[in-house]
Structures are given as structure tokens and as C-alpha cells.
Structure 1
Amino acid sequence: MNFDRYFKKLFGEDASIINRDELGGKDSIKGFGYGRPLHIELDIDGERKDVVLSTMKKNTFGHDHFSDRAQILLWQHNTFNKLPKHVKSFDVGFFTNKNELISARDADEFFIVTEMVEGSAYANDLDRIKDTGRLKGLDIERTEILASYLTDIHSVKGKDEDKDLYIRKVRDIVGHGECIFGIIDNYPDDLDYITPKELCDIEKGCIELRYKLKRLKNRVCLVHGDFHPWNILFKENNDFTLLDRSRGEWGEAADDVTSLTINYLFYSLLQEGEIKGSFKRLFDTFFNVYLEKTGDLEILETVQLFYIFRTLVVASPVWYPSISDLVRRKLFNFIYNMLECDRFEYEDAGRYFG
């Protein structure tokens, strides 16, 4: 690691390193990079300056992912100097895979650049079916393709060190700002079809489901994390591209399964007012293919919490402001039934909306 070049950029060309060692009296930097702070003694134009260069240790307290640790360090740099008598932060940066130290102190927003892909969102297929009432052979084929794709990625099982990420995934589904607690926080307090007290009771029930799932961390597998119809772009030849993988590489297969299949149920309510017809056929097709290929009948005991999350999204007046209160009440019936359901009977999914 070229510490000299970095500190010259930070403090000027007159800066030079006198000594460096781990805090705590060690004279080696062998363990640096795993959360051990490094003490750096500098000479800057004849004056001594002591600084500490720290990384953050990977652990299961919300620091599992690189992005978690980056978020915290960026926040610390932005706030340390605003608090009286707090230790000052000079910079924030990152190590590259070439062992270079790069400053990020002037960053205003981070960004990502991705390739441009062609295709039509799978949601457009669902809109067409709803509007025309007609199901094509193409629609059955695409449902089978998506079920088979999830079968393939979910067959990649996590290692022992990934099992804690299963617990993290389940915890995030409940408490993450993008998930159940965050979605509920954005429900207005004056709705006709749901009260704050009822939403609070739903949250409590979700915590109980979380404790049930925590025992199943051996199920950890490769996941997409946000496998919904707007993140799936189909081409005319039925090849497809996925967008916006979210909230971690490893988790519970039910996360992806429910992210897609809740839309078959939702669109059926919009089209028929109940679970039947074209979208029920797509729903059944998906589960039949997925269960036949995976043999994972246990997933019928893990979908409940994830269906609650996805149903809270489609029932939300923020995300779907124009659907009727009647449809929303049926969606909340589904949520209440998921809270009490030990094993999801997908063949008779309509009864959960009553």
C-alpha cells in the first residue's frame, strides 16, 4: 500500500511518514484492514502530526456488506467535525484492489454506471393480460422461464459463513427502511381501510415470523432480492435481463418467489375482483414448475413474511394510489391470513383474501 503517496496528497508534498504501527502497542501492521486502527506518525515541514487510519470490521451487526461499512465511514467523516470536542476527521477514502488509497472526501453523491439493455418490462405483459383478458402461450412460457431461472439460482447454496446473511436478510425484510417497517411508516394515519393500530399489530406479528425464520438459516441461497416485473426486461426471443439486484447476495428463496408471484395475485384482484382466471393460471404454473424442479416444499412454510412485505407494497397508497379501497381491504385480509398461516396452500390461494 502506498501510504506515502496518499499522505502527500492529503497534507502536502512536505509530509513524510516517520513511523506506523497498530494502536495498542503492536509494532506490526499485519492485521490492518480487518478493523484494527493504524497509528501513523508524520513529519510535515518539520512538525510532527499523529493520525489514525481505521477500517471497519465485517460483522453481523449490520456491517455484513462492503456498502454497509462504506455508509458508516462516510457518515462519520461528515459528522465528526460538527460535534464540539469530538475527534476530527481529515478524510474518508477507500482501498482499491491494487492496494491504493483513494480519497473520497469531496464526494457529494455516489453513482453507478451500467450498460444499456433493450427489452420490455415484464409488467407490460401483465398489463396487457389485465386489459385484454386474454392469455397467450407466450405468457405461460415466460412464467415457466422465470420459475426455472429462480430454480437455477436458488440451487446455489450459501456456505457456513453465509448463514448469518440469511438472518440479516430476514431482519432486513422486517426492519429495513425499504421493507416492512419503512413501507408501513409511509402509510398515512387517516386511511379508511387500515388504522395505525392495525399496522402496529401487523408489525408485531412480523417480528414473531422473523423468529420462526431465524431457525432456518441452513436454507441460505443465492437470491436477486427484488425480482419483480419491473426489474425483468424481456426481448422478443424470450431472453431477458434483470435490473436492480437489492439488499444482499444471499438470503431466502421465498424473497424472490413472492416478489414475482404477488403480482399474479394482485393483477387477478384488479381484473376479476378475486383470485381466478388468467392470473391464477400463471400463479399455479409458476409454483408447479418451481416446486417440481426444486422439491423445496419447505418454502411453503417460509413465504408468509415475504408475502406480507410485498403485499404491503402493492396495497400502499404511496406506490399504488389509484386502486380501490375494496382491493386494498382484500390485500390486508391476505396479510392477516399470512400472519396466521403455518403452511401456504398455493392451489387455494384465493381463500386467503376472504
Structure 2
Amino acid sequence: MAIMGMILSGGLESLERYFREVYGPNAEVLRVLEIPSGKERSGMDLKGFGYGIPYLIEVSVNGEIKKVVLETIRPEGFGHEHFSDRAQILLWQHSAFNNLPKHVRSIDVGAFTARGTLKSLGDCREFFIITEFVDGKPYYLDLEAIKARGELSNLDVERCLALSNYLVEVHSVKGVGLEPLYIRRARELIGHGECIMGLIDSYPPGLEYADEGTLMEIERKCIEWRWRLKKKAYRCARVHGDFHPWNILFREGTDFTVLDRSRGEWGEPADDLAAMTINYLFYSLQAYGEIKDPFKRL
């Protein structure tokens, strides 16, 4: 995976604006040095800020010289591939460093913006996302209706085909060169808090249908499957990641929108297919205690 430098628009002036946000209007950047080489960066030369290269920055604040280190994380392996992975680590470090005796102090946590400026995030507590609003009814309501009437309509078949064609289009983009992300996806499928082990840990103790021995055996088999899937990394493709009936809104006919793409852009195409079709199995079992039409046809 290529390592790219961050474009810092305005060079030293942009850096100085950021430190005035942190330290106040009298902050002045004196010099910027690469660590450990000691190479000085100045002016527009700051456009080459690199991932994973720490910088010693000297800042004058009301006559007092402060020395701080600006550090980023390299996006290579170890679960650091996505910028959200790196954000998670740095946000946690900022919240935790100052709670441990004798630990180096965190001054702020920030981000490079798309405009090439720096933004302070140190006083953030929770993050939010704003998306467009779309009308529609969740697809699970279709499955509820099928269960109630016991048969498929023509529209049910058309919508199922529309979803199938959509996945064909999505999965047609192959992740050539992104095989490590496929392996990561399989690893996180087992150990991530939103995935298998997280769900297992959410079960209360004492369930008759899910005793400790059964759950441990499920985890063992999942680990065995992870080693089998690692050999399938050539299948890496673009995925949705959470393709189930509650994340699909249908409008008239076969017009639909998908919601809440999750856990990375690349992975196993069959994961999307299984996330949808297992719901057909669930609804059939709820209605009939076995896998049969009309859900079997879907």
C-alpha cells in the first residue's frame, strides 16, 4: 500500500493557525524538524508531511518556548489500513495518555482536512455523521408480509432479482492488490465486537439453547474457518458489509437505497449474499419450522 504525504495548504502559516487555535492568538511557530533526522522543514516545504513521520515543532507562546511532537500513523497493516482505524487509535491515546502517571502528556488530537488545513479535535467527546434523507420502507416488511400471506407476489420476485443484480454490480469491482484487507475482514468477522465473538459475549449466562460448551465450540470452528478463508484472499472484492433487510429501503417497484455500509470496503462477496439469504431461512423457520417455499424460492 503506497504511503502518501499529507498536503498542508499554506505551509507554515497553516500550521501556525492551528497552534493559535490550541494555544491562543499569540502562538508563533519557530521551526519544524523531522524526527530522528533533524532535517528542518520550512515554508511551503511542509506540503510533504508524511504518514508515520514524527515532527518536533517549536512554538513560542507569549514568549515561552514550547516543544511538541506531531505524529501520524502509517496506514500499513496491523488494522491501520483505513483512516478511521488511525483516528480510533489517536482519539483513544488523547483520552488516555494524561490519565496515567509519568506518561508523556497529550496536548491535542487533530486532523488534516480535505482543504489541507489542520483541525483541532481535542475537545470532542462524541462524533456524528450527517447523511441525506431518503424515503422508503425497510425490506424486512416485505418478508413479514410474505410470512403472513404464505406466498410470493410478482413484486417479491422482482425485488429479490433487483437485489441480486445489485450485488453482482457491487462485487464486480475486484480488490486486486488488496488481499491483506480480505484476511483482515475474516479476522474481524470472528473477533470484532460487532461480529461473532461480540454477539456470543452478549448472550446472558444460563441459556438452555446456548450453553458455554456450545459457544466455545462455535468459536473454535470459526478459527478453523479463518485459516481456510485466508487461502481465498484472491476473492477480495468490493462489498457492502452489512447487507440485510433492515438496511434496505424500497420505494415504488424495485427502486431502493441501501444504508449503513460497515466494516470496510473490501471483503468476501459471499458475506453480502449470506447476510441477506440467512434472513429468508430465519423467516421460513419462524413460519414453518423448516426451509420451504415461499422463502426457499427466494
TM-score by length of 1: 0.77
- Distance in 1 (CA, whole Å) between partners of 2:210 and 2:108 is 48
What is the match of residue 53 of structure 2? Answer: 36
Cα deviation for residue 134 of structure 1 reads 2.1
- Distance in 2 (CA, whole Å) between partners of 1:198 and 1:216 is 27
Cα deviation for residue 144 of structure 1 reads 0.9
Cα deviation for residue 16 of structure 1 reads 1.2
Q: Deviations over 1:180-233 (max 9, x none)?
A: 010001112201112111101110110010010011111110000000001011
Instruction: Report whether the alignment pairs 1:24 with 2:41.
Output: no
Instruction: Report whether the alignment pairs 1:97 with 2:114.
Output: yes
Q: Counterpart amino acid of 2:139?
A: Y
Instruction: Report whether the alignment pairs 1:203 with 2:215.
Output: no
What is the match of residue 243 of structure 1? Answer: 259
Give the number of aligned pairs: 281
Instruction: Give the alignment partner of residue 132 of structure 1, picking from 145, 149, 154.
Output: 149
Instruction: Report whether the alignment pairs 1:78 with 2:95.
Output: yes
- Distance in 1 (CA, whole Å) between partners of 2:283 and 2:50 is 49
- Distance in 1 (CA, whole Å) between partners of 2:238 and 2:67 is 44
- Distance in 1 (CA, whole Å) between partners of 2:116 and 2:50 is 11
- Distance in 2 (CA, whole Å) between partners of 1:15 and 1:111 is 30
What is the match of residue 139 of structure 2? Answer: 122
- Distance in 2 (CA, whole Å) between partners of 1:279 and 1:96 is 48
Q: Counterpart amino acid of 2:33?
A: D
What is the match of residue 64 of structure 2? Answer: 47
Aligned residues of 2:248 and 2:259 also touching (Cα < 8 A):
yes
Q: Counterpart amino acid of 1:218?
A: Y
Instruction: Give the alignment partner of residue 151 of structure 1, picking from 160, 168, 171.
Output: 168
- Distance in 2 (CA, whole Å) between partners of 1:36 and 1:190 is 51
What is the match of residue 274 of structure 2? Answer: 258
What is the match of residue 3 of structure 2? Answer: none
Instruction: Give the alignment partner of residue 12 of structure 1, picking from 14, 24, 27.
Output: 24
What is the match of residue 236 of structure 2? Answer: 220
- Distance in 2 (CA, whole Å) between partners of 1:98 and 1:155 is 32
Cα deviation for residue 26 of structure 1 reads 3.5
What is the match of residue 88 of structure 1? Answer: 105
Moved more, 222-231 or 62-71: 62-71
What is the match of residue 3 of structure 1? Answer: 15
Greater strand proportion: 2
Cα deviation for residue 59 of structure 1 reads 2.0
- Distance in 1 (CA, whole Å) between partners of 2:204 and 2:62 is 60
- Distance in 2 (CA, whole Å) between partners of 1:148 and 1:224 is 14
Aligned residues of 1:62 and 1:68 also touching (Cα < 8 A):
yes
Instruction: Give the alignment partner of residue 180 of structure 1, picking from 196, 206, 210.
Output: 196
Instruction: Report whether the alignment pairs 1:190 with 2:202.
Output: no
- Distance in 1 (CA, whole Å) between partners of 2:116 and 2:87 is 17
Q: Counterpart amino acid of 1:233?
A: L
Q: What SS does the aligned partner of 1:224 have?
A: coil
Aligned residues: CA RMSD: 1.2
Q: What SS does the aligned partner of 2:56 have?
A: strand
Aligned residues of 1:32 and 1:38 also touching (Cα < 8 A):
no
- Percentage identity across aligned positions? 55
Greater helix proportion: 1
- Distance in 1 (CA, whole Å) between partners of 2:148 and 2:297 is 16
Cα deviation for residue 44 of structure 1 reads 1.9
- Distance in 1 (CA, whole Å) between partners of 2:35 and 2:117 is 22
| Deviation beyond 4 Å, 4+ runs, structure 1 | 28-31
Q: What SS does the aligned partner of 1:97 have?
A: coil
Cα deviation for residue 72 of structure 1 reads 0.8
- Distance in 1 (CA, whole Å) between partners of 2:180 and 2:59 is 40
- Distance in 1 (CA, whole Å) between partners of 2:130 and 2:174 is 29
Instruction: Report whether the alignment pairs 1:69 with 2:86.
Output: yes
Unaligned runs of 5+ in 1: 283-354
- Distance in 2 (CA, whole Å) between partners of 1:280 and 1:26 is 67
Q: Counterpart amino acid of 1:208?
A: E
Aligned residues of 1:40 and 1:53 also touching (Cα < 8 A):
yes
Q: Deviations over 1:305-352 (max 9, x none)?
A: xxxxxxxxxxxxxxxxxxxxxxxxxxxxxxxxxxxxxxxxxxxxxxxx
- Distance in 2 (CA, whole Å) between partners of 1:257 and 1:130 is 21
